[in-house]
Structure 1
Amino acid sequence: MKKIVFAVLFVTSVMAAQDMKVVKGDFGFLKDQKEVNIVFDYSKMTLLKEKYPEKEYVANRTKELNEKMKSSGDVWKKKWDTSKEQIWNPKFLELMNVVYSKDNKDVNFQEGLAAAKYTLIVDAIWVYPGWDAGIMKQAAKVTTQLKFVETKNKANVLLEISSENAPGDQWGSNFSNESRIGEGFAKTAKSLAKMLLKKAY
């Protein structure tokens, strides 16, 4: 039985493998930059295999949960509405900077750095929340487009990186969709930071 459970968990982790590749541009402009501004954009985000727009996904999920237990959907919606600012963005920022701190690099990626020469736009494209049923589970998946632009001329894209299916999971059980998605953003940031560490810094 233990072997079967391990096999299932192994398969789900393999299915959630991340694919990160450079779409266009190079890394040279970042070499001497100590600070990079970050902007998160969720305006084009879709969810699930059906690629529902976020507004439709939230409406459907709220209705579904309310039908199962009165008011539970409304409670979930409040959690969802705050998840970007309270979980996803902080997770991304934390992991970006942890990688550089561990490597003793004086580099800071942060929101609100208006004076920074360059800005990283984290464009959320697609999210799969995953699920957790105790013994069996499937990680969340997060797909983003990561665009480095001039802060004063955001139409000028210097580097664009595609990150597909970044897995979001934690050891043990994690029954929060929002938390699992947050781990997907953390994985995206960690992979991006390591790529930049190798190619830019």
Structure 2
Amino acid sequence: MKKLILFLFVLTPIFGFSQLKVISGDFKNLKGISRYNVVFDYKDLQVHGFETEEAYLKEKMEKREKKEGEAQKFKENWYSDRENKYEPKFIEYINKRFENGEITASKNGDAKFTMNIKTIWIYPGYNVGAGKEPAKISAVITIFETANPQNILLIVDFKRSIGLEPGTFDFDQGYRIAGAYEKLAKNMAMQLKRFL
């Protein structure tokens, strides 16, 4: 029995299971909702192994100071990857998963209900030739009435969504992290499908 538990413990990071916890509300409250406005919140996010996001950026930029422009480029990409890579991956996966349009998601839309993706924690992963590990994220998803944000239908916490394999782009940190947002979308879509 102990060997089986150890085996499952080892497999968990490989297959990318994330822990889901409903904090408030119920997925049943979402039945009948077909359109979502999606917003993303990165305020006060933690980067694995660092006290603050700023401390992470400082260390990574210092390592790149020898190559002209590389430090600033790293910082710019850290922020621009959110809109250019992470967010599209999440939204595209939700829409792809519901290919018949049972549920659609869009950024800056006018849907009656909003899905807020609050990123709590990021592990950027790595690929250094000799070894690699996918990115992981933890996020809280809150669904509320757009015109009345106090009317919250659901708050759910997803711990450590492990990125889907990004393939040839896994040397790029932004694509690795985008894979974790895609996995978050997959986990959320699985729950939504249960209540269609």
- Asked if Structure 1 and Structure 2 have the same fold, meaning a TM-score greater than 0.5 normalized by the shorter chain, the answer is yes
| Residues 97-147 of structure 1 deviation map (CA, whole Å, 9 limit, x = unaligned) | 11111xx34221111123x22111000000000111224111111100000
Q: Does 1:93 align with 2:91?
A: yes
Q: What amino acid does structure 2 have at the position aligned with 1:61?
A: K
Q: Which of 161, 169, 178 is matched with 1:182 structurally?
A: 178
- Tell me which residue corresponds to 1:125: 120
Q: 1:173 to 1:11 in 2, by over 3 A?
A: farther
Q: Does 1:113 align with 2:109?
A: yes
Q: What amino acid does structure 2 have at the position aligned with 1:84?
A: R
Q: CA deviation at 1:16?
A: 5.1
Rounded Cα–Cα distance in structure 1 between residues aligned with 2:12 and 2:32: 40
Q: Does 1:151 align with 2:165?
A: no
Rounded Cα–Cα distance in structure 2 between residues aligned with 1:76 and 1:50: 17
Q: What amino acid does structure 1 have at the position aligned with 2:176?
A: R
Unpaired segments ≥5 residues, structure 1:
1-9
- Tell me which residue corresponds to 2:32: 32
Q: 1:35 to 1:12 in 2, by over 3 A?
A: closer
Q: What amino acid does structure 1 have at the position aligned with 2:178?
A: G
Q: CA deviation at 1:90?
A: 0.3
Q: 1:135 to 1:16 in 2, by over 3 A?
A: farther
- Tell me which residue corresponds to 2:69: 71
Q: What amino acid does structure 2 have at the position aligned with 1:144?
A: A
- Tell me which residue corresponds to 1:162: 157
Q: Percent identity?
A: 27
Q: What amino acid does structure 2 have at the position aligned with 1:82?
A: S
Q: 1:146 to 1:37 in 2, by over 3 A?
A: same
- Tell me which residue corresponds to 2:78: 80
Q: CA deviation at 1:12?
A: 8.7
Aligned residues: 186
- Tell me which residue corresponds to 2:54: 55
8 Å CA contact 1:166–1:184 kept in 2: the answer is yes
8 Å CA contact 1:142–1:185 kept in 2: the answer is yes
With normalisation by structure 1, the TM-score equals: 0.83
Q: What amino acid does structure 2 have at the position aligned with 1:71?
A: G
With normalisation by structure 2, the TM-score equals: 0.85
The CA RMSD over aligned residues, in Å, is: 2.1
Q: CA deviation at 1:20?
A: 1.9
Rounded Cα–Cα distance in structure 1 between residues aligned with 2:79 and 2:152: 30
Q: CA deviation at 1:192?
A: 0.3
Unpaired segments ≥5 residues, structure 2:
1-9
Q: 1:173 to 1:117 in 2, by over 3 A?
A: closer
- Tell me which residue corresponds to 2:135: 140
